[in-house]
Amino acid sequence: MITAALDLDRVPSHVACVMDGNGRWAQSRGLPRTEGHRAGEEALFDVVDGALDIGVEWLTVYAFSTENWRRPPDEVRFLLEFNEDILLRRRDDLHERGVRIRFVGRRDRRVPKKLIQLMDDAVELTRRNRRMTFTIAFNYGGRAEIVDAVRAVVNSGISADRITERTIACRLYDPEMPEPDLMIRTSGECRTSNFLLWELAYSELYFTDTAWPDFRRVDLYEAIRVYQERERRFGQVSPNGASSAITFNGDGKRRDHPG
Ligand code: IPE
Ligand code: IPE
Ligand code: MG
């Protein structure tokens, strides 16, 4: 069984994905970039199913960044319409599976009214579901999110000396969203590209060369297997000392998995 290598008692409760590499996947096959986005849908819903099967409680995916408006107008138009289309076709199925749909991102004038309406409808339809929260980051930028939170703090009139991390965190787009335990980025790029800047502070990062359209639940499980080998220290020292997964020899070289 695919999940045999996983410890199902230590599944990350929040997994975030930067679904990257659609364009290159298509171009390497002589197809237009938009075909890569189309092919990414199967990957996305296989990952949703795979996450549901092992009890991931929060899944957040980066669908469109605040910087993606800089792409050619035809590609931007395709992405807007494709996201509308996916919402219409998939929301009932997600609802039946007990998935709560949410969105994070800026709702500025560039986002078509029709798409905003579909987002609101999907959120309303699924708001009582509790099996998993599936958050779509659309017109999302981590810096924009922090700027919007700071604006809300200033508007609240709170005095500067009373501002804490909590003051900011509770004004992010979804204050209920826990910080991701694991962030996966496909397609070989090792950067965040403005995804969840505040929330990723202590997330484990996993990068794979697999392009998003080829990513499937087995790849999710492999990322989680690697995550389960990591030791999250949150700035503290290891309670396990020398028995942690990675130790160093006397010459400073890394010695993996001591026996
Ligand atoms: C990710 O794939 C999808 C979006 C950004 C919407 P890309 O379109 O970035 O694909 P590459 O990275 O150019 O291959
Ligand atoms: C990040 O990917 C945004 C999404 C996956 C939606 P990009 O392809 O836009 O990021 P860069 O440009 O390679 O940094
Ligand atoms: Mg990309």
Q: What are the pLDDT tens digits along the chain (259 aa)?
A: 567 799 999 999 999 999 999 999 999 999 999 999 999 999 999 999 999 999 999 999 999 999 999 999 999 999 999 999 999 999 999 999 999 999 999 999 999 999 999 999 999 999 999 999 999 999 999 999 999 999 999 999 999 999 999 999 999 999 999 999 999 999 999 999 999 999 999 999 999 999 999 999 999 999 999 999 999 999 999 887 655 556 777 887 777 554 3
251 as an active site residue: the answer is no
Extended strands (E) in the chain: 14-18, 58-65, 99-104, 132-140, 182-185, 204-207, 246-248, 254-256
What backbone torsions phi and psi does residue 109 show, to the nearest 5 degrees? -65, -15
Residues with CB under 6 A from ligand 2: 18-20, 62-65, 68, 189, 191, 193
What is the rounded distance in angstroms from the CA atom of residue 71 to the CA atom of residue 139?
13
Quote the pLDDT of residue 246: 65
240 as an active site residue: the answer is no
Quote the pLDDT of residue 253: 79
Residue type, 58: W
Beta carbons of 227 and 204 less than 8 angstroms apart? yes
14-18 sheet: strands from edge to edge: 99-104, 132-140, 58-65, 14-18, 182-185, 204-207
Considering the candidates 9, 22, 68, 194, report the single residue annotated as catalytic. Answer: 68
Q: Whose CA is nearest to atom 3 of ligand 1?
A: 20
Which of 65, 76, 186, 190 has the most ligand 2 atoms within 8 A of CB, as the residue to mutate? 65
CA of 23 to the centre of ligand 2 (A): 10
Quote the pLDDT of residue 133: 99
Beta carbons of 101 and 122 less than 8 angstroms apart? yes
Enumerate residues 6+ apart whose C-beta is below 8 A from 202: 179, 232, 234
Q: Whose CA is closest to 197, among 11, 18, 13, 12? A: 18
Q: Which atom of ligand 2 is nearest to the CA of 212?
A: 5
With a 6 Å cutoff on the Cβ, whether 210 touches ligand 1 is no
Quote the pLDDT of residue 230: 98
Q: Which class for 59: exposed (0-12), middle (13-18), buried (19 or more C-beta within 10 A)?
A: buried
Q: Whose CA is nearest to atom 1 of ligand 1?
A: 20
CA of 65 to the centre of ligand 2 (A): 7
Quote the pLDDT of residue 241: 63
Q: Whose CA is nearest to atom 8 of ligand 2?
A: 20
